[in-house]
């Protein structure tokens, strides 16, 4: 498991693929089903390397994803009560912006004001 975990702690996608190849070679005969499962859709599992400006530990951790899902789940439930898709999308967008502000150690006040001015530019170019 430690060796498999190291694949996802690579510095970039190419290094992750190299580590997977080594891991697969080492464990292919002993655990062929595990190797096949690990290799299946591997490129999709390392798509986070394409994200710029995001700390990788925020996006590759299952526990963080679970926390984010817990924080978004109430918004999904609220979204069902909106009269339009736009209202639901705005509520979810604002929740994601709150999480982004928290992760970047920004206050919600700063973030909400930045959103206000961004919105003004969209409507009054």
Segment of 22-31, 68-77, 88-97 carrying the highest mean pLDDT: 22-31
Q: How far apart are CA 6 and CA 16, in angstroms?
A: 8
Helix (H, G, I), strand (E, B) or coil at 7: helix
Q: What is the pLDDT of residues 51-65, one digit of tens each?
A: 776 666 656 555 666
Q: With a threshold of 0.75, does the pTM exceed it?
A: no
**Lowest mean per-residue pLDDT among 42-51, 66-75, 99-108:** 66-75
| Mean pLDDT for the chain overall | 81
Q: Which residues 6+ apart lie within 8 Å of 34 measured at CB?
A: 27
Question: What CA dihedral angle connects 101, 75, 119 and 112, to 10 degrees?
Answer: -40
Q: Where are the domains of the chain?
A: 2-58, 62-123
Which pLDDT score, from 0 to 100, does residue 25 have?
94
| pLDDT value of residue 28 | 93
């Amino acid at each position: 498991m430690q060796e498999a975990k190291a694949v996802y702690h690579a510095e970039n996608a190419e290094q992750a693929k190299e580590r997977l190849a080594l891991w697969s070679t080492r464990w292919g005969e002993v655990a062929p089903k595990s190797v096949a499962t690990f290799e299946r859709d591997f490129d999709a599992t390392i798509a986070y390397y394409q994200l710029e400006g995001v700390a990788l530990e925020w996006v590759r951790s299952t526990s963080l994803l679970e926390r984010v899902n817990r924080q978004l789940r109430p918004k999904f439930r609220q979204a069902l009560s909106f009269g339009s898709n736009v209202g639901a999308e705005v509520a979810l967008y604002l929740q994601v912006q709150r999480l982004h502000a928290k992760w970047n150690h920004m206050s919600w006040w700063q973030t909400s004001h930045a959103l206000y001015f961004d919105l003004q530019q969209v409507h009054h170019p």
